[in-house]
Chains A and B, each alone.
Chain A
Amino acid sequence: MDINIPGKRETDMQPNQTRIGDRRPLEWGEFDPNRRRHLYVGMWAWLWQRISALAIIVLLALHITLTYQPWLQFLLLLAVTFHATLGLRVILLDFNLVNVKYQRALIWGLAGMGLVVFILIWKSIY
């Protein structure tokens, strides 16, 4: 669909000017010294779930090849707890089990719970 936008018409131009045209859309965070100061916690939650998912793939492969390495078990358990916690957040929000207005509290609450579960599991193993 071609929407007629006044600024795009050649008649708006001065006769001696040549119009190059619109700049391509600015990317998220492009040309913005303040963008990364304003990352919101919901976005971090999504990003870290992705990162932990990739970490689980790598750590799981290592865990199968190098069995019974405490440091590896620690990292894998941490990644799994983190991934599960953030996944639980999305499930709760998707099924409207928690009102979206508590989304920030949900992240910290679930992360705290995940940490407690993590410590309990780690204590029971070692």
Chain B
Amino acid sequence: MSTAQGNKRKFEVYRYDPTQGGEGHFDRFELPVQDETCTTILDVLIRLQKEQDPTLAFRYACRINMCGSCGMVINGREGLACKTNVSDFPGDQTITLRPLNHFPVVKDLVVDMGPFFQSYESCLPFFDPKEPRQEPAIIRPDSEERQTIGLATECIACGCCVSSCTMVNCHPSYAGPAPLNRAFTLLMDSRDGLYEQRLERALASCYHCRTEFNCTEVCPKEISCTRAIKHIQRLAMKDPFRRREPAPDAASQAGPAPAAAEAADSAADPEMSRRRFLTGLTVGIGATSTLLVGGVLASTFAGPALRRKPPHWIRVGGVDAFPVGEVSTVRLTYAETNGFYTQDLVKPILVWRQPQAPEFVAYSSTCTHLGCTVRWDANQRLFLCTCHGGAFNRDGSVKSGPPPRPLDRLALRIDNGNLLVKMV
């Protein structure tokens, strides 16, 4: 027999019998394939049905990649059985054939494409001209519009993209890649009269795309539905304040009745109320986090200036260490904490011990003119500032030079024979 010739290939085909029910199972087949480069998976299925199991069910029509009937999952990847050759898989590999995901399985490899065409219809997949024409329209192939649409019109609605998408089954309102691609080709067409209605519906579903590119990877026609979906999303940005028409009259005239009814009761749709809830939640979370972050930033910048610093009482020295009638210079070392940051400060202060009460007077060494450090000149008996020649008397009053006011006095107290000054 001629079938005995050639390489024996192993196949696993998913079987589901609607009279038996259950989860379904894989049947193993072995088939000698003479020329693998000239044998498609569809050829294999036809031969298996003829030679080994006549109950095997699958769907096909054109056999030349035109009709999109034979879409299935071949070794984990969606594709057309008539476009995939046996030689695409290494000789020792078992080829697994399985129906498309996300569609009810009628029998074996045959799925119910009803849900697909339902969502296809929801995107208004038909051309509705703005103005009636007698002559065919002339479309320049190099026009920008035609270039943007590109090969997206080549879709044959095989359902491979929907099967590869991981989002269509999670979001009932998501039309899926192919329907949105169809909507894109018509939205880009300036002759089309249903722009508003179609955009409304496409925008209601296109944000469920997660940019996974699964549909682009598997498309037998090499169309990128992701590109189409991204285009639709950008259309929303083009004119966010466009007037929305509440009653799509043209759509209900031209379009199928269920599609219009679907739009009408979208207010009662749980998906819509869910979206409203999520919108509110997003706005709420955004506002809360803005307030929180803004509050933290504002208090970080404005806080230190507003905060009242607690006064430090710093020990200058024992009372006996200061000779009577003299001015002593003391370098105070203390730590100042500001928020998380603690810094060690060194500040000289000037202490005058008078013979009569009040015994002690402490001056800040900061010149009241521009903030240089003043020093005590014992010979002239003056506080001198070297920066601009300012001079202060021993009681702190200005003797000469530019200082506008006497030296600042520091509050002090005596505690247990120690002199303490208050530093702010």
Residues of A within 8 A of B (CB): 1, 3, 5, 7-8, 17-38, 40, 42-43, 45-46, 89-90, 93-96, 100-101, 103
Contacts and interface: CB of A to CB of B under 8 A. Distances in A.
B227 A42 contact: no
Interface in B200-252: 210-214, 216-217, 224, 226-227, 230, 233-234
Contact of B105 (A22, A28, A37): A22
Interface residues of B, number: 50
Contact of A24 (B98, B104, B107): B104
Contacts of A31: 14, 23-24, 26, 98
Nearest to B224: A100
Given A18-B19, A46-B211, A37 B112 contact: no
The SS class assigned to the A binding surface is: loop
Given A31-B24, A100-B230, A19 B19 contact: yes
Given A24-B105, A31-B23, A43-B213, 7 more contacts: A1-B256, A19-B19, A23-B18, A25-B111, A28-B166, A93-B226, A100-B224
Contact of A33 (B96, B166, B256): B96
Nearest to A1: B258
9 contacts: A7-B112, A17-B19, A21-B18, A22-B105, A26-B105, A33-B96, A40-B213, A40-B214, A89-B211
Contact of A46 (B22, B105, B121, B212): B212
B322 interface: no
Given A20-B21, A34-B96, A25 B117 contact: no
B211 A23 contact: no
A29 B110 CA distance: 17
Given A28-B166, A94-B233, A34 B75 contact: yes
A30 B166 CA distance: 12
